[in-house]
Amino acid sequence: MPQRDSRKTAPRKATARTRPPRTEPGLRTQWLAQELRKLRSEAGLSMADIGAYIRRDQSTISRMEKGEIPIRVTDVLAYLDMGRINDTNRREMLKQLAHEIWRDGWWDGYTGDAAATLIDRLWVESRTKRIRSYEMLVPGLLQTKAHAEATMRAVEPDSRPEQIKRWLQIRLERQAILTADEPIDLNVIIDESVLHRPVGTRLTRRAQFEHLVELSERDNVEIRVLPYKAGAHTGMAGAFELMDLAQPFPTVGYVETQVGAIFVEGKKVARLEAAYDHLLEAALDPRRSVALIRSVINELE
């Protein structure tokens, strides 16, 4: 009987093809699983019915519908056919989502260095047409390298330098969506405190605000400042983002907390949209916002 080689081999670096498995289902898988559960319920089908049709046992169907395992495109087609779904848009959304689960992106080489929610966020960004956000710091997509590094070191004081370096690389690569051939639209409302809170050196702050002014000149970037005089407002509960994905995907909300980030959809997205609209009414218009940023730049000379 052949003996197993007991010599230890060095672990391979994670790549788009050799990335380590997730410990929790990704957003794409969760979305698809949720839609398949809904479809089966609407059609009055049992897990046993689906399992018999696609020749899978009931426990596998249960895991699929919980988002615990990736779902094959052929399985999605089976659900659609058994459920007699003729709605072209719904069929296309589920088929495309099934394809997306198996598709690699530039970020997949970083799966060993980033949380699952960040990888999901990068996928969402890659499918987004517009981002609307309220921020209490300079948005990551608008940060200079020096400002981003200073922010990361402050937020994650116990992280190793090499980890900060990898996170920084991811953040800078993300910013390409603003300058791509078909860039996303970015509508940002930043709290006025962002302009006065020291982050990094005086030179770092000045360069960052000059960068904001420069980016505001792009047709796809709109920056507004929520002034102190606005008083109490709907953003006091915390920062958030709204991501309008390309069809056939829905708008999703994204909220970061001290213990991780979450995506929201449906009625919760509607609440975030209402909060954003209130903030938009209270914020300075783009012209006055840029003028305020310029005044802070002058103070930093």
CATH number of 65's domain: 1.10.260.40
Q: In this structure, is the dihedral angle defined by the CA atoms of residues 177, 180, 183 and 187, taken in order, positive or negative?
A: positive
Q: What tokens were used for 116? A: 């699952």
Q: What tokens were used for 73? A: 């495109």
Which H/E stretch holds residue 16? none
| Overall average pLDDT of the 30-56 stretch | 90
4-29 pLDDT, tens per residue? 343 333 443 444 333 434 444 567 77
- CATH number of the domain enclosing 219: 3.30.870
The pLDDT assigned to 115 comes to 55
Q: Collapsing DSSP states into helix, strand and coil, what is residue 130?
A: strand
Residues 78 and 166 in one domain: no
Residues 145 and 271 in one domain: yes
Rounded Cα–Cα distance for residues 246 and 103 (Å): 16
Evaluate whether residue 12 is within a structural domain.
no
Phi, psi (5° rounding) for residue 12? -75, 145
Evaluate whether residue 20 is within a structural domain.
no
111-140 pLDDT, tens per residue? 444 456 677 788 788 889 999 999 999 999
- Domain assignment of residue 47, given as a range: 27-101
Number of compact structural domains in the chain? 2
Rounded Cα–Cα distance for residues 247 and 96 (Å): 10
Residues 234 and 149 in one domain: yes
Residues 239 and 140 in one domain: yes
Phi, psi (5° rounding) for residue 226? -90, 110
Evaluate whether residue 183 is within a structural domain.
yes
Residues 62 and 147 in one domain: no
Q: Please say if the pLDDT value at position 192 is more than 90.
A: yes
268-284 pLDDT, tens per residue? 999 999 999 999 999 99
Residues 201 and 140 in one domain: yes
Residues 203 and 274 in one domain: yes
Q: Please say if the pLDDT value at position 108 is more than 90.
A: no
Phi, psi (5° rounding) for residue 128? -90, 140
Residues 96 and 242 in one domain: no
